[in-house]
Structures are given as structure tokens and as C-alpha cells.
């Protein structure tokens, strides 16, 4: 992980490879910053004079400076002050980090706007805290700095990456507030990096047993407990879905249970997070086409998000009892594989008819959702790269949300808007249920062509207990085809920031 720090002082004295300064697009911010630039650089940079650099959000301009430890600054556009938002803060930092990468600058300092500049902003007038602002500035940079290059013996452009990102504040006045925000960002970004690493890792590195080992390591390092069930225990319990999906692979399944230490005191609400842990999804006997099949190494992105969220929560001492459950298996078409027409019996006793072995996520989640009842939870949230249909509906921008708890979905919406890991509800109307009816079992695992994201959730609903439940289909948001503002092609680590923000603000 990149190192994140808050430092106090003047930009003149800063030792860094690159110092970034924020420029609002509108007045008086723009002129004020340019007066400073003229003083330090000795001139107004030509792109400013010509109007090419206007301070549009994310626009950057490198300005060489003589006679300073940091011999160049980068001006980063912030867009109009009136529209400044937490997301703008993330994009500003991300732009600074991208500029640093282009300059091969390993140590970057971002000069945070001072209180005079911040307090008139509508965002702060609306009650957003300086702590959350610092959190967002730190997040954007730390997430933009991520690379998955551990398998490249020759790094791109011979640059090892940005190593440190610091925030320069002019006075000590809000130093501690900023430091808290940046510390929170470090926790949540380290967890997002982990989630991205786990999902980007190839199937020959991450399979159910090795995933369980990684979760154990994370638990030891961050202080949450980890219990792992092997295939014998999974069979003894009667998790027919997890066992059935795993049969086509030589790699045995695992069921991973995580739990944070609950602070003492009165009864705490219990929340169970469930993550789909298909470490590779070839489709099974209903084999997927080979084009882009490699992407399916990321089919454990839900699991990765749950590990990340537990890792952060372990440090935050939230007034909650928090459990993470990961059913993990590999979906391959081996000689012993599950076949269309097979019938499975799940942990809660219900049976499912296999129509398509590529609808495997719901089969393993069924057992995990049934298992969740043992905790008599106040809420269960599952995250899964469940359907291609949700990508058709919402693209790579928005996570699909379905569930039985209006208040929890409302709070997830709010957390999504704050973190910009946005979610949108799809309906679970009763009329969809007939699409999943089986003539010979309680439910079948695949519907016809339409409403695929919904019928996936309809299947899951058969296996929930009497608890409130929300399903997040992250198939589009967890795996990106194009780099984003502060994410790269590949695994986004979506869910970590959403869940952490949700848990922090959770109201039973």
C-alpha cells in the first residue's frame, strides 16, 4: 500500500518529487491561486495565459519551479467551487497521482485548501465534515496508485509506482481532524487493494484452499477470527449446493467464517455479510464460450469485498456483531461435475433442480444464506458477481440491489451516494417467482432469458431465513473493462468502501 500522511507547513519547505496544488475553475479561487503561482514560478504558465488550462475537474498542468526542494508543482483542476463534492476530491487526488506516475515521481504532496477557502463551499455548508473531506482526498489518490504488476518482472516504464502521498496543511488547527480522515482512508484503501489483489489473482493462485489461507492471514494481521470448514465438514452439514458446484473440480471447496471482536456492553445488532467465492467460473458442463473466460477468475469479488470490509471493521470497533461468510468453490466441467437435470438438497432442506450449471453462484450462496440463520442476524447482505444480466441493465457503473429490507436498502443507497459506489434497486415483485418454478424440485436454478438479475435474487430468496436481507449483484461494478477515475482495468475492489461506510452509519 502507498503510505498516506498529513504534514503541516509551507509548500516552500516541502521535500517531495511533486507538489500538487488545487485550482478551482471559478473566481475568486482561480485568480487567487494564479497569483500564488506567479509568485513561486516567476511567471504565469502559458497554458493558463492562453486559457487552455481552466481548472476543469481533473485537468492537470505541470509547472517547473526553480530554487525549491520540489522542483515542480502540478496544478490540478477542481472544477467550480459551487459544485465541489467528495467525489471531486477523489478525482482531484487521482489526477495528481496520475500526473506523478507520468512524471515517475514516487513521493507526492497535495496541498489541501485552507479553512478560508473551504468554509464558503456549499459542500461544507451542507454539513460534510473536514474528516470526510480528508478521507476522500486520500482515497482518490491511494486507489489511483494501485497496480497489479506483481507478475511483471519488468515494470512498465521502469517506474516502481508512487510510494507516498502526503497532505500538506498550512496550520495545525484542523491537523488532527485531517489525520483521522487520512487514517480511515489508509484502512479502507489497504482493504480495497487487498480485494483487488485477491480478485485480480489468477485461478492457479487463488482457489478455495488458498483463499481460505489468505483470509486466515488477514485475520491474524488485523485481528478478526477465522474458521474454515473443509469438504468433509461441508458434506456433514448438508451444504449440497457448495458441494455440488465443487464436484467438477479437483480442488475441494471451503466454507470460510470470519468474525470481528464485538465490543462489550449491551446487546449489539448482528450483521452477516456473505460473499460469493467462485475462484474460477468456467460454467461447468454448461461451459462458457472461451472469449473472455479468463475474466471469471474475478468471480470471487464478492468474497474479496467481504474480507476487505471485515479487515477494516476489525480496526474500527463498531458497535456491532459482524460476521463474514464465504462459500468458496471452483466451477469446472470435470468428469464428476454437476449436470443439467441434477437435483441438489441445500442446508435448509430445500431442493433445487439444475437447469444450467453456469448458474452456480446462487447454489453456493443458498447454503451460506441458510447458514446465516444460525446467528439470528438483524440483517444479512450478500455480495455476488451473480449475473451477466445486471451488466446489461446497469453497465459497469452501478451495483444492482434487491432485497426484503427497505430501511437497509435506503441506508445502502445513502452509503453508495457518499462513497460513489452507487447501488440501484431492482424489483422483487411476486410475479417473477413463477419464472423459477420447477416441476420436480422446490426451485430451479435458471429462468428463461428475461429479468436475469431479478430471477437470480428470486432463487436466493428461497434460502434466506426470517431475517431482513439485501442482495448486491456486483457483476458489472467488480470487473472493469476500462480504467476509471481511480480504478484500473480489472478488479475494482467494489463493496469494501460501500460496506464500511454503511456499517459506520448503520441504524438498526
Instruction: Establish if 203 lies at the interface with Zn ion (CB under 5 A).
Output: no
Are the C-beta atoms of 252 and 229 separated by less than 8 Å?
A: no
Which residue from 23, 198, 344, 391 is in contact with ligand BES, where contact means CB under 6 A? 391
Q: Could you say which of 251, 321, 362, 461 is catalytic?
A: 362
Q: Residues 301, 304, 305, 306: what is their CA dihedral angle, to the nearest 10 degrees?
A: 130
Q: Which stretch binds Zn ion (CB under 5 A): 297-305, 430-438, 479-487, 491-499?
A: 297-305
Q: Which partner, Mn ion, ligand BES, Zn ion, none, binds residue 380 by CB below 5 to 8 Å per kind? A: none
The alpha helices in 317-450, defined as continuous H runs, are 361-372, 388-394, 406-419
Site string for ligand BES, 432-471 (x = CB under 6 A): --------------x-----x-------------------
Could you tell me the three cell numbers for 230?
A: 473443509
Strand partners, 74: 20, 62
- Closest CB 388 distance from ligand BES, rounded Å: 3
Say which residue the cell 469479488 belongs to: 301
Decide: residue 152, CB within 10 A, 0-12 exposed, 13-18 middle, 19+ buried.
exposed
Q: Which stretch binds ligand BES (CB under 6 A): 125-133, 152-160, 200-208, 386-394?
A: 386-394
362 is catalytic: yes
Q: Which is nearer to ligand BES, 240 or 447 (CB)?
A: 447
Site string for Mn ion, 319-338 (x = CB under 5 A): --------------------
Q: Which stretch binds ligand BES (CB under 6 A): 63-71, 266-274, 315-323, 357-365?
A: 357-365
Question: Distance between CA 271 and CA 262 in Å, rounded?
Answer: 11
Are the C-beta atoms of 328 and 254 separated by less than 8 Å?
A: yes
According to CB under 5 A, which residues from 265 to 284 bind Mn ion? 281
Q: Which stretch binds ligand BES (CB under 6 A): 22-30, 248-256, 345-353, 355-363?
A: 355-363
Could you tell me the three cell numbers for 289?
A: 464460450
Question: Distance between CA 213 and CA 198 in Å, rounded?
Answer: 12
Which residue from 299, 353, 355, 501 is in contact with Zn ion, where contact means CB under 5 A? 299
Are the C-beta atoms of 431 and 451 separated by less than 8 Å?
A: no
Instruction: Establish if 366 lies at the interface with ligand BES (CB under 6 A).
Output: no
According to CB under 5 A, which residues from 222 to 281 bind Zn ion? 278, 281
Instruction: Establish if 358 lies at the interface with ligand BES (CB under 6 A).
Output: yes
CA 304 to chain CA mean position, Å: 9
The alpha helices in 273-329, defined as continuous H runs, are 301-316
Q: Which stretch binds Zn ion (CB under 5 A): 180-188, 294-302, 319-327, 467-475?
A: 294-302
Instruction: Establish if 260 lies at the interface with ligand BES (CB under 6 A).
Output: no
Question: Distance between CA 80 and CA 72 in Å, rounded?
Answer: 25
Question: Distance between CA 29 and CA 84 in Å, rounded?
Answer: 12
According to CB under 6 A, which residues from 183 to 242 bind ligand BES? none
Q: Which is nearer to Zn ion, 311 or 331 (CB)?
A: 331
Are the C-beta atoms of 211 and 252 separated by less than 8 Å?
A: no
Nearest to 298 by CA among 328, 274, 278: 278
- Closest CB 278 distance from Zn ion, rounded Å: 5
Q: Which is nearer to ligand BES, 226 or 300 (CB)?
A: 300
Are the C-beta atoms of 460 and 276 separated by less than 8 Å?
A: no
| Beta pairing, strands 343-345 & 351-353 | antiparallel
54 is catalytic: no
Q: Mind telling me the catalytic residues?
A: 288, 362
Note the residues at the interface with Mn ion (CB under 5 A). Answer: 281, 358, 360
Note the residues at the interface with Zn ion (CB under 5 A). Answer: 278, 281, 299, 361
Note the residues at the interface with ligand BES (CB under 6 A). Answer: 281, 299, 356, 358-361, 385-389, 391, 446, 452, 475, 479
Amino acid at each position: 500500500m502507498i503510505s498516506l500522511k498529513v504534514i503541516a507547513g509551507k509548500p516552500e519547505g516541502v521535500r517531495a518529487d511533486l507538489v500538487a496544488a488545487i485550482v478551482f475553475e471559478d473566481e475568486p479561487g482561480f485568480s487567487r491561486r494564479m497569483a500564488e503561482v506567479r509568485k513561486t514560478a516567476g511567471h504565469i504558465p502559458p497554458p493558463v495565459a492562453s486559457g487552455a488550462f481552466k481548472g476543469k475537474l481533473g485537468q492537470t498542468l505541470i509547472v517547473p519551479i526553480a530554487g525549491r526542494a520540489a522542483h515542480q508543482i502540478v496544478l490540478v483542476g477542481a472544477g467550480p467551487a459551487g459544485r465541489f463534492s467528495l467525489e471531486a476530491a477523489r478525482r482531484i487526488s487521482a489526477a495528481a497521482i496520475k500526473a506523478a506516475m507520468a512524471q515517475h515521481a514516487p513521493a507526492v504532496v497535495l496541498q489541501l485548501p485552507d479553512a478560508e477557502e473551504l468554509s464558503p463551499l456549499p459542500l461544507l455548508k451542507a454539513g460534510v465534515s473536514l474528516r470526510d473531506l480528508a478521507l476522500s482526498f486520500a482515497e482518490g489518490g491511494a486507489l489511483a496508485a494501485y497496480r497489479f504488476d506483481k507478475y511483471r518482472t519488468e515494470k512498465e516504464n521502469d517506474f516502481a509506482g508512487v510510494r507516498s502521498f502526503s497532505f500538506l496543511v498550512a496550520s495545525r488547527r484542523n491537523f488532527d481532524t485531517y489525520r483521522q480522515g487520512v487514517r480511515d482512508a489508509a484502512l479502507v484503501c489497504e482493504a480495497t487493494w487487498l480485494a483487488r489483489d485477491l480478485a485480480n489473482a489468477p485461478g492457479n493462485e487463488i482457489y478455495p484452499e488458498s483463499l481460505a489461507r489468505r483470509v486466515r492471514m488477514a485475520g491474524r494481521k488485523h485481528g478478526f477470527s477465522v474458521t474454515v470448514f473443509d469438504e468433509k465438514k461441508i458434506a456433514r452439514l448438508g451444504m449440497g449446493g457448495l458441494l455440488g458446484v465443487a464436484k467438477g473440480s479437483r480442488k475441494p471447496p471451503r466454507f470460510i467464517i470470519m468474525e470481528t471482536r464485538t465490543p462489550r456492553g449491551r446487546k449489539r445488532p448482528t450483521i452477516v455479510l456473505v460473499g460469493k467465492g467462485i475462484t474460477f467460473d468456467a460454467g461447468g458442463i454448461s461451459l462458457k464460450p472461451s472469449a473472455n473466460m479468463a475474466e471469471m477468475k474475478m468471480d470471487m469479488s464478492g468474497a474479496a469485498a467481504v474480507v476487505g470490509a471485515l479487515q477494516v471493521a476489525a480496526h474500527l470497533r463498531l458497535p456491532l456483531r459482524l460476521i463474514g461468510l464465504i462459500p468458496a468453490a471452483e466451477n469446472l466441467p470435470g468428469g464428476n461435475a454437476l449436470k443439467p437435470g441434477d437435483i441438489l438438497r441445500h442446508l435448509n432442506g430445500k431442493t433445487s433442480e439444475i437447469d444450467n450449471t453456469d448458474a452456480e453462484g446462487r447454489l453456493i450462496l443458498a447454503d451460506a444464506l441458510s447458514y446465516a440463520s444460525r446467528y439470528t442476524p438483524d440483517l444479512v447482505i450478500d455480495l455476488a458477481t451473480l449475473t451477466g444480466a445486471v451488466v446489461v441493465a446497469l453497465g459497469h457503473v452501478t451495483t444492482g440491489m434487491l432485497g426484503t429490507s427497505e430501511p437497509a436498502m435506503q441506508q445502502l443507497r445513502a452509503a453508495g451516494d457518499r462513497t460513489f459506489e452507487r447501488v440501484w434497486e431492482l424489483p422483487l415483485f411476486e410475479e417473477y417467482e413463477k419464472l423459477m418454478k420447477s416441476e420436480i424440485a422446490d426451485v430451479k436454478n435458471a429462468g428463461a432469458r428475461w429479468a436475469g438479475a431479478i430471477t437470480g435474487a428470486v432463487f436466493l430468496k428461497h434460502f434466506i431465513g426470517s431475517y431482513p436481507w439485501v442482495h448486491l449483484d456486483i457483476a458489472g461494478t467488480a470487473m472493469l473493462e476500462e480504467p476509471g477515475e481511480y480504478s484500473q482495468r480489472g478488479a475494482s475492489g467494489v463493496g469494501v468502501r460501500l460496506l464500511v461506510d454503511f456499517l459506520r452509519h448503520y441504524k438498526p
